[in-house]
Structure 1
Amino acid sequence: MASSEVFCTLCHEDGSSKDAVTWCTECEVFLCIDCEKHHQKSRMSKNHKTMPRKDYQKLPTFMKEISSQCKDHKKKFELYCTFHACPCCVQCLNDKHQKCQELKPLSDILENIKSSASVQLLEKDMTVVKENFEEMIKYLNSRMNSNNGQKLKAAETIRSFKKSIDEFLNKIEEEILTDLESKHSKLNSEMNTLIQQLEQRANQISQMQGEFTKMTRLATELQMYVGLRETEKTTAQAEKYIEALKNEKSFNEKNLKVTISPSLQSILQDLKSFGYIHINTSKSTLQIKAGRKDQAQSLVQPCPGFEEIKPSITERRARKMDKPEFWQDIKTSAALY
């Protein structure tokens, strides 16, 4: 019910709406001020336990749903069956608990329950469990922080290694570019030297051609004869020089070409990943408190499982149950409720 509107159960049944102030834990009804006075004076209810409405509404929902009356028979619970671990009314004996042993008065089970050792132990158990949860959360948060640090460290390792690779590649790139420059300069130098030699000889032939033209036009026969001999000699030397160059393969084409190291090429061909990320598992260092070994046990000692029960009725009880007055007493007790 909403805390703002809670009406007296008895008045509400009579068609009026009065604010409730009290909850009777045994009648399980809300009472207004007037009804509470009558409730306290009534011989049947004057000893009932009540509680303020506000306190009742503070109870957990599942506790509000717990009734002191049997839902099947609408009678108050009087007994507790340790075999089925449940409260039962007198009429339940005939319906479900005829063969059950160790039926105890419910009042004995509930006596001093709030101050019992079970309550204190359960409070301690809940404290231990809560502390364990808090410790596990703290541990996992610590692990997350540790993993964050590991991630940053791993990323730094990757970048650092890449930087080392870049520096190494830059170094060997510089070396091969230097080698390229050296070999290119050597080729150019050799060809420039040969070009200079050829130009010198070509100029010599050109000069000789000019002189030969003048000789054929102006020289005497003797001068012409001697001139021809010298010209033939110089021309023959030039031809011999050209032939020597051809034999020495001076004009073979020398081309610059780069060959990338097979090891470096294999990086592009064989390398599929920069590396691998592993998640290594090691034993946890989490320390949690141990709970009681018996903490899962009920407040009332449980009976053996159904398959472990061997039904047996003592001779004395069997004789008693065979008597009609035994069942007559049970029926009489049920009728009183």
Structure 2
Amino acid sequence: MASNPKFCGICDQRHITKSSSDWCSECNQALCSECKDFHALSKASQNHSTIAISNYLALESSFSQVWGHCYVHDDKYVLFCQTHYCLLCLTCLEEHTKCEDVVRISKLTKNVKTSENFVDTQKSISDIILNLSKIQCHLEENVCDIKKQKESILREIAQMREKIDSHLDKIEHSLKTELCKEVDNQCNNTICKTGRH
């Protein structure tokens, strides 16, 4: 498999670098358009479903890292045990012989895209995305309003400070004037009294 899903894995094994167009989750491999055609014709892979590479790359990393092979037996998962809610390879099946609801994965996923649950889930996801988009818009508007309110309050604080400064300046000027008059009066009175003696 090519280490980079943007390039065809089959071509990579032939030492050719070609951009991929599709992804096969069963082969866990990226395919170019030419290799996709051969992949669809091969008996081993003709029933594999592929998705556009752009859709695969758009998946979150947690989904794209799901491995389609059993890590214990290094074999492809082909069954699903509904009792234990786990994927099984053919060797794993030996441990689930008593389980009654073991089904082929292909049977479970055959009509998944046309099933009512899938359509409902897709609609729900679309609604959630729309609602999240609206919430994001409202949050951005609220942040904008809060910033405007902050600027308005800061202007009011600055204006209040100017008024307080102006008022204190007037008080200071008035006290200085009164003090100067009082000192002048006291000095004049003292000079006058001294001159009489």
TM exceeds 0.5? yes
- CA change 1:195–1:63 in 2 (3 A) is closer
Cα pair 2:77 2:87 within 8 Å, conserved: no
1:1-337 paired onto structure 2 within 5 Å: 1=2, 2=4, 3=6, 6-7=9-10, 28=27, 36=38, 40=41, 45=43, 48-49=46-47, 57-60=53-56, 62-63=63-64, 66-67=67-68, 70=70, 72=73, 74=75, 77=78, 79-95=79-95, 97-191=96-190, 193-194=192-193, 198=196
Alpha-carbon deviations, 1:20-77, whole Å to 9, x = none?
89989598376977x939x84x7xx18823678xx6544525458653x655263561
Cα pair 2:70 2:89 within 8 Å, conserved: yes
Number of aligned residues: 183
Q: Which amino acid aligns with 2:135?
A: M
Cα pair 1:83 1:100 within 8 Å, conserved: yes
Following superposition, the deviation at residue 115 of structure 1 comes to 0.8
Following superposition, the deviation at residue 134 of structure 1 comes to 2.3
Give the unaligned 5+ runs of structure 2: 58-62
The root-mean-square deviation of aligned C-alpha atoms, in Å, is 4.2
Counterparts of 2:177 and 2:23, CA distance in 1: 102
Cα pair 2:7 2:17 within 8 Å, conserved: no
Q: Which amino acid aligns with 2:143?
A: M
For 2:10, what is the secondary structure of its paired residue?
Answer: coil
Alpha-carbon deviations, 1:160-189, whole Å to 9, x = none?
232232222222223323322332343344
Q: Which amino acid aligns with 1:82?
A: Q
- Higher RCO by CA contacts (8 Å cutoff, separation 6 or greater): 1
What's the % identity of the aligned pairs?
18
- CA change 1:47–1:174 in 2 (3 A) is closer
In the TM superposition, structure 1's runs of 4+ consecutive aligned residues that sit over 4 Å from their partners are 2-6, 16-27, 29-33, 61-66, 191-196
Following superposition, the deviation at residue 108 of structure 1 comes to 3.4
Following superposition, the deviation at residue 145 of structure 1 comes to 1.6
Alpha-carbon deviations, 1:130-176, whole Å to 9, x = none?
22332333233223222222222222232223223222222222332
Cα pair 1:80 1:106 within 8 Å, conserved: yes
- CA change 1:141–1:59 in 2 (3 A) is closer
Q: Which amino acid aligns with 2:139?
A: L
Give the unaligned 5+ runs of structure 1: 199-241, 243-337
- Give TM-score, length-normalised by structure 1: 0.42
Counterparts of 2:137 and 2:15, CA distance in 1: 52
Cα pair 1:22 1:51 within 8 Å, conserved: no
Give the greater-gyration-radius structure (CA).
Answer: 1
Alpha-carbon deviations, 1:67-102, whole Å to 9, x = none?
3x655263561x32112223324432222x244342
